[in-house]
């Protein structure tokens, strides 16, 4: 992410090592462009409208990505809850196939869904079968 563009000379290339353009970095670049434009040749109305449209698109894509992430988490939670009380065939942390009854579902700090099966805690991807 671009942290600062205040000391960028006109014509100097700004490098974004993270490779991601967030809405904040987009705004910083827009402000830098407007700050360093030639007053005798200002940006025309069409170019400004295009930049505003691009900013709006970046913002809406960011919001859409967040919404999709929330829907995915909700779907995974629903799937895991439906496994409660069922006997599961699963792969444990050591890579061994195990069988046990799903007794609890939790959401970890990182948003992943965890299923308690006996002494093991597994993810949905570890489930191999439901009986």
- The 10s digit of each residue's pLDDT in 12-28 is 665 655 666 677 777 78
Give 50-96 pLDDT, tens digit per residue.
Answer: 877 877 887 788 778 777 777 677 788 888 898 999 999 999 989 99
Is 48 within 8 Å of 30 (Cβ atoms)? no
pTM flag (> 0.75): no
Pair type for strands 97-107 and 87-91: antiparallel
């Amino acid at each position: 992410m671009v942290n600062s563009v205040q000391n960028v000379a006109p014509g100097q290339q700004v490098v974004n090592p993270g490779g991601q353009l967030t809405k904040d970095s987009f705004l910083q670049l827009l402000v830098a462009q407007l700050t360093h434009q030639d007053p005798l040749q200002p940006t025309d109305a069409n170019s400004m409208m295009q930049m505003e449209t691009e900013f709006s698109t970046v913002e809406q894509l960011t919001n859409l990505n967040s919404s999709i992430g929330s829907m995915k988490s909700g779907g995974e939670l629903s799937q895991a809850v439906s496994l409660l009380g069922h006997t599961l065939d699963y792969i444990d942390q050591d890579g061994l196939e195990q069988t046990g009854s799903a007794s609890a579902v939790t959401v970890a700090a990182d948003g992943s869904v965890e299923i308690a099966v006996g002494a093991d805690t597994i993810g949905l991807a570890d489930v191999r079968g439901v009986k």
